[in-house]
Amino acid sequence: MISAGAAGLLLLLTGCHGGAAAKAPDPSNQKDLLVTTPAPTTNLDKIVWNNNFGEPPSIDPIKSADYPASGVVSNLCESLFQIQPDFSIKPNLAKSVKNIDNTTYVYQLQEGVTFWDGQPMTADDVVFSLKRHLDPNEISYWASDVTANIAAVEKTGPNEVTVKLKSPDATFDNQLATPVGAVVEQAQREKAGADYGNPGAGVMCTGPYSVGEWKQGVSITLDRYDGYWNTAKKAKTKQVEIQFITDPSSIANALATGAIDGSYDVPLSAINQLSSSTNGQLYYGKSLQNMAIISTGTGTLGDPAVRKALTLATDREAIAKTVFEGTSTAAQSLVPNGGWNYGAQIFADARKDLPPTTPNIDEAKKVLKEAKVDLNKPIKIVYPIDRTFYADIISEFANAGAKLGLKIEPSGVPGAQFGAFFSDPKARAGADAFVTTNYMNVADPLIHLGAIAGPKGMQNYSGFSDPQITELLAKAKATSDDDARAKLTAQVEALVMDKEPWLPVVDSSTRLFMSKRVTGVPASFVYLYYPWAADLGGTGK
């Protein structure tokens, strides 16, 4: 996967769709990355897209917690709030919200919203949908400390729902822009039973597209819902077929030849080919994604001094330039750079106090002296063997570890088995760490840090716990003023980066390719929870 000439691949394509490339951007400069792509000039009958991570195991929104499902479900099932291409959060199915106090939220619902079967969305449907996360029989992937903090959900008017929290959480509305706030039709959910979200029963939602034909293992077709309530956002394309090609070479060839009109998450191995394609254009967008190595909390890497030393010694800038073809930057934090929609100056200033990303072997050796574990035991890092670029990344960490007297052992497992590392502690047994291509659900550092370092965080895979961090997280959640909350969150960030429950590697830009006949989707990383396909239309070419 490592190739030469990475700097030459840093082409930011702007201006008219299909036009000439602009100057090569500085990938560390957020201003150089795109938010949107040129607006379409025509509507289209059909577009073929690709979901590079494969087929969704389910399209039930509460089972949508990763790339394969979320990139499809985002066009089908809507939430009470919605993330926008610029990372701001706006009311959606909830027309407005009023805070009675710091634990009581009263939501006024949009009127005239219908499900695809024509039935109106009611307050009862909203109550039912929110309570699904509290029902252990539903097995919501979004059940976490956030939903556990819900004390009550009640219909308090014809178009009004009131949520009562157990303790203050100023991030709660932002959370409702994810599937935590997704609304489904109660009657259809109950009728579908165990088949819900599968090709047989599907789902019943309010989004701009409904579920058309689902060819298992091949593709799923989205049909425009002409009764969509938000007429300003009516889909511009009648039908979008989303294929499930995962082989990087096949993806690259299909995009280059026009067999597929577009795709997010363009494979790194395809960057060279697609950057010079005459059939379309490669875009780099603002992102909330990063790549990291997650400690299991056991073994040699279970010691924070070892984690910190290994990070200090590793040339992550080289990883960004070579493995990621210059489309990423070395990560200074577990919060991707620019991953905030409030307190921008506060978070930007806070990064100045974090350790630099340039490798420092001498400092790493000093830090390693604080370790309290046996440094002779090898460090086993697990990765999905079908994603070969991870082996290149671990190799760079192994080179750095060798300079410190540490032995790194890469351990590849089949991709089908790797997913268990995120859900089953037994799968993680015997491993020091495993890799992740990860992302912030919304641009709120407090939510992301809480998920990683909070004692009951959704992504706390190691049982990480620090009393000072836990106290600051609670204090920040109880703070309604944005700047004050940002200052507290910046303190959390500094403490988390001192312990490094995850080892930061790179912050990744969004990689998007579209053929010259289509345009309009966001270039930024919002496609997991924003109905990107509704913006997709034609260029007239």
Is 356's pLDDT higher than 80?
A: yes
Return the H-helix or E-strand segment holding 89. Answer: strand 89-91
Residue-wise pLDDT for 171-230, tens only, equals: 999 999 999 999 999 999 999 999 999 999 999 999 999 999 999 999 999 999 999 999
Specify whether the CB–CB gap between 492 and 468 falls below 8 A: no
Assess contact for 279 and 263: CB atoms under 8 A. Answer: no
Would you say residue 31 has pLDDT above 80?
no
| 222 within 8 A of 207, measured Cβ to Cβ | no
**pLDDT per residue as tens digits for the range 76-118:** 999 999 999 999 999 999 999 999 999 999 999 999 999 999 9
Q: What is the predicted pLDDT for the residue at 393?
A: 98
Read off the pLDDT of residues 160-176 as tens digits, 9 standing for 90 and up: 999 999 999 999 999 99
Q: What is the DSSP letter of 455?
A: T
Residue labelled with tokens 């995962």: 246
3-state helix, strand, coil in the chain (%, to 5): 35, 25, 45
Report which DSSP code applies to 249: H
As a whole number of angstroms, the distance between CA 243 and CA 280 comes to 18
Residue 22 clears pLDDT 60, i.e. is over it: no
Dihedral sign, Cα of residue 296, residue 299, residue 300, residue 303: positive
- Dihedrals φ, ψ of 264, to 5°? -85, 170
Please provide the CATH number assigned to the domain covering 289-508: 3.10.105.10
Query: Residue 439 phi/psi, 5° resolution?
Result: -160, 155
| Chain position carrying tokens 């998450």 | 265
Instruction: Please name every residue paired with 224 in a beta bridge, in sequence order, or none if there are none.
Output: 209
Q: Tell me 466's DSSP state.
A: -
Instruction: Answer yes or no: is pLDDT of 511 > 70.
Output: yes
Asked if residue 13 has pLDDT above 80, the reply is: no
pLDDT per residue over 413-435, tens digit each? Answer: 998 899 999 999 999 999 999 99
- Per-residue pLDDT for 156 more than 80? yes
Would you place residue 351 in the very low, low, confident or very high pLDDT band (cuts 50, 70, 90)? very high
Mean pLDDT of 357-370: 98
Q: How far is Cα 400 from Cα 390, in angstroms, rounded to an integer?
A: 16
Pairing of strands 44-50, 237-243: parallel
Nearest Cα neighbor of 241 from 227, 222, 255 is 222
Tell me which fold the domain 81-189 belongs to.
Answer: Dipeptide-binding Protein; domain 1 (3.90.76)
| pLDDT at position 18 over 60 | no
Domain boundaries, the chain: 34-76+199-286+509-538, 81-189, 289-508
Q: Is the pLDDT of residue 458 over 90?
A: yes
**Which tokens hold the place of 68?**
């394969």
Phi, psi dihedrals of residue 42, rounded to the nearest 5°:
-140, 155
Q: What is the dihedral of CA 162, 168, 170, 175, to 10 degrees?
A: -60
Q: Tokens representing 501?
A: 């429950």
pLDDT of residue 32: 82
Look at residue 454 and tell me whether its pLDDT is greater than 80.
yes
pTM: predicted TM-score of the whole model, two decimal places: 0.92
- Give the tens place of pLDDT for each residue, 112-123: 999 999 999 999
Distance CA 533, CA 541 (A): 19
CATH of 34-76+199-286+509-538, one of 3.30.70.260, 3.60.20.10, 3.40.190.10, 3.40.50.970: 3.40.190.10
Strands (E), 110-236: 150-157, 160-165, 209-215, 219-224
Q: Would you tell me how many other CB atoms lie within 10 Å of the CB of residue 113?
A: 21
Strand, coil or helix: 97:
strand
Is the model's pLDDT at 2 over the cut of 60?
no
Average pLDDT on 355-371 reads 97
User: Is residue 17 scored above 50 in pLDDT?
Assistant: no
When pLDDT is cut at 50, 70 and 90, the band that residue 29 belongs to is: low
Rounded average pLDDT over 55-68: 96
CB 162 within 8 A of CB 156: yes
**pLDDT attached to residue 8:** 29
Local confidence band at 15 (pLDDT 50, 70, 90 cut-offs): very low
- Asked if 161 and 183 touch (Cβ cutoff 8 Å), the reply is no
Neighbouring C-alpha atoms within 13 Å toward the C-beta of 182: 31
| Mean of all residue pLDDT scores within the chain | 94
